[in-house]
Structure 1
């Protein structure tokens, strides 16, 4: 029996020592910032996402409306006959009878067509900027979902490794209790720790399914479609950390390049041009009319044909009730659009500042975990294990320090995943590109 206990102790010791060492770099690749999997997923999402397709269609539609907005109205062709003799509608019994062909063309006040096309051109620019904003949002959402999935997968792998260790601990403590070498509380504590781990596994599996569904929804695929996932290695992520620009510089980059501001500037431009459209609408439009009148032969005499030309003028006598008020409304819209632009600038500056702070905090936490917490936790486990083997440490103490090591590894993975997500978000806020 003593030999069996000794073998169990050695087996448990090997598992604990394995658990105390890094659980990464043992087969599959690990995730670092800039891995090739995320850009391919982003490219697929931008190509297949239905919301992106809808915004692209809106851009095309807005662009196609530019030329019609600056085109003259269609001319009017009128055919008619006048002064037929009653009661038989005779055509050649009066010298007043004639057949008319009339062509008229409405001509807006100079500059009106250009102003209208300018409004539509501004709307098209706004649509393009909205598409650019959406592409950045999709890129960020994909990064968040992808690294969330990577965290869940890595955490599940770490958890299963920890479960194997606790299974051995349960067997060891049960055997020692059966031989009278350990109290009954030892196997009970080991089983409790294992059951808690099982509960955490259910939660992590649920998070994995949710993250996988989020990734697949962005790329327009079934929720359970396979996604290649690279494990997250906190040490590798920490090694790839590069210094960031100062926050003021990042804010300046965002204000200069982000399409969200371009969309608001386009809205200001549209409102400003609409003022000009309404002001020109209060000016008189012209109508040019040409008429040819054919006169039939009557009373054995060929009457000469007629040609007429007219210039019409629309009198904006109600402009004070219509166009002037519409121009005032456009001025109010312009003021509101300018306020919205300023609000967006403030929001964007705040987002960049907050994201930069989170990136810096994640860098610091990751450095502390990788360089300090994890080595200390692993060293503590090894030290307590040696003391336990010679009877100078209790089993509960060993379980406690091993659980602390396990929690530290999970925290390091979570911080590494959050750092990579926040870094992509910061790049999308400040860069002119849509790829992470």
Structure 2
């Protein structure tokens, strides 16, 4: 009767510990100042310095087209001509005059329009860069968020198993002291507990590093505590087929639109280089004011002078300058075309990789949640019942509990990896609507 009472007491103690751990604040997630994935994304988009830098760059480049599309600034000149060095008298010599002049350079028709067009494409490409940086930022924030969520669940699982192992140690000690157990059982449980403590130390360090990186993305102090909610959606949506995702990326991905715009800018610069074979013009007008009188017999005041100048820039060294410039711009256009083709390949590969990772993690999450973890839990229950009646040795009981622990970690890891794969897929495609 005493043995039966002892076994029931041990069983009740073990289950009480499990229930107390599950209902503890750490496990239940009853923390304040928590923020969801959506809040984290909102903070990052609103405050991230790199994204703000790209926005400022875009605004800066938007001011360039009107500048390069305007005529060069005119030149106003003031001249003192033909003053005699002995007296510097304006009346002494007939050709002495003070002049005011005005000149303006006129590029060959079409050049300014092409310069403005190329600058507009550059500004548009900078706008697409803002969208791309924003997209990648959101993907990074989501990935960090779900990684921290997994680490929280892992730490809770470690804490629960530490409590259970401490209870196992107490039970093993009790059995050893009453002559019904072995000292090696106590040592084994203590070893497993020490291993769990070591794993907890590593997980806490990893979580802090992940929190630092997430805080940086959100422009928060690096050491600020990051608290996440305990309850999240575990829904695993069905994805659109890869071909449709490819087509969606070609029209939605900002990186591809940026590179397409850069091709347009390169084409405008090539056309401009071809226009440089044609000359620019310069027109000038000068008014000369004279003083004094004409000599007899005509007499009378000296008349003022008006001069008109027209200049033409001659492409005399076209073989070394303009032709080389056309060749350079042509190669730059080819480079941009090849870069776009290469980037499309990388985007498609990123989409396929993310789809593969998502399906793998989704299947694992379902398998661990509906099969492996419940089965492992049943195995622990069975082992515990057998241990109470001395039909199962302590080593197998501890091993079954640690196996369950590892499967629970893999369960949460699969959930986190599936959500991170979704974030990478959304970033690769260029929008969130990647589902059926």
Q: Same fold (TM over 0.5)?
A: yes
Equivalent in the alignment of 2:327 = 328
Which residue, 269, 279, 284 being the options, matches 2:279?
284
Distance 1:24 1:274 in 2: 64
Counterpart-to-counterpart distance in 1, 2:213 and 2:79: 67
* Distance (whole Å) between structure 2 residues aligned to residue 94 and residue 29 of structure 1: 100
Please give the residue correspondences for 1:230-269 in structure 2 after superposition, counting only pairs within 5 Å: 230-231=229-230, 237=234, 240-269=235-264
Cα deviation, 1:59-98, whole Å, max 9, x if unaligned, reads 1111111110101000011111222234112201232222
> Of 242, 246, 265, which residue of structure 2 is paired with 1:270?
265
TM-score by length of 2: 0.91
Note if contact 1:42-1:142 (Cα within 8 Å) is conserved in structure 2. yes
SS of 2:287's equivalent in the other structure is: strand
Instruction: Name stretches of at least 5 consecutive residues in structure 1 with no aligned partner.
Output: none
User: Which secondary structure state, in structure 1, belongs to the residue aligned with residue 38 of structure 2?
Assistant: helix
Q: Shift of the alpha carbon at 1:178?
A: 1.1
Partner of 2:15: 14
Q: Distance in 1 between matches of 2:309 and 2:10?
A: 110
Aligned with 1:90: secondary structure?
A: coil
User: Which residue of structure 2 lines up, in the alignment, with residue 115 of structure 1?
Assistant: 114
Is 2:108–2:278's contact at 8 Å kept on the other side of the alignment? yes
Post-superposition CA distance 1:13-72 (Å, at most 9, x none): 315865999999974379xxxx97112111211222221122112111111111101010
- Partner deviation per Cα, 1:212-249 (whole Å, 9 max, x = no partner): 1111111122222122312366xx51xx1111100111
Shift of 1:309: 2.0
Q: Distance in 2 between matches of 1:148 and 1:26?
A: 17
Between the aligned partners of 1:3 and 1:388, the Cα distance in structure 2 is 12
Name the counterpart of 2:293. Answer: 298
**Number of residue pairs matched by the alignment:** 426
CA contact (8 A) 1:74 1:105 kept: yes
Call closer, same or farther: CA 1:345–1:26 in 2, change over 3 Å.
Answer: same
Q: CA deviation at 1:7?
A: 6.3
Q: Secondary structure at the match of 2:328?
A: helix
The answer for the alignment partner of 1:375 in structure 2 is: 374
The correspondence of residues 203-214 of structure 1 with structure 2, limited to 5 A, is 203-214=202-213
Deviation at 1:108, TM superposition (A): 0.1
Counterpart secondary structure, 2:99: strand
RMSD value, Cα: 2.5
1:347 deviates by: 0.3
Residues in 2 aligned to 1:21 and 1:367: alpha-carbon distance in whole angstroms: 22
State yes or no: 1:75 paired with 2:80. no
Q: How do 1:315-394 residues align onto structure 2 when only pairs under 5 Å count?
A: 315-394=314-393
Counterparts of 2:24 and 2:411, CA distance in 1? 12
1 CA distance for matches of 2:21 and 2:79? Answer: 99
Cα distance between partner residues in 2 of 1:159 and 1:340: 48
Provide the secondary structure at the position in 2 that maps to 1:408: helix
Q: What CA distance in whole angstroms lies between the structure 2 residues aligned with 1:214 and 1:4? A: 53
Q: Distance in 1 between matches of 2:426 and 2:52?
A: 23
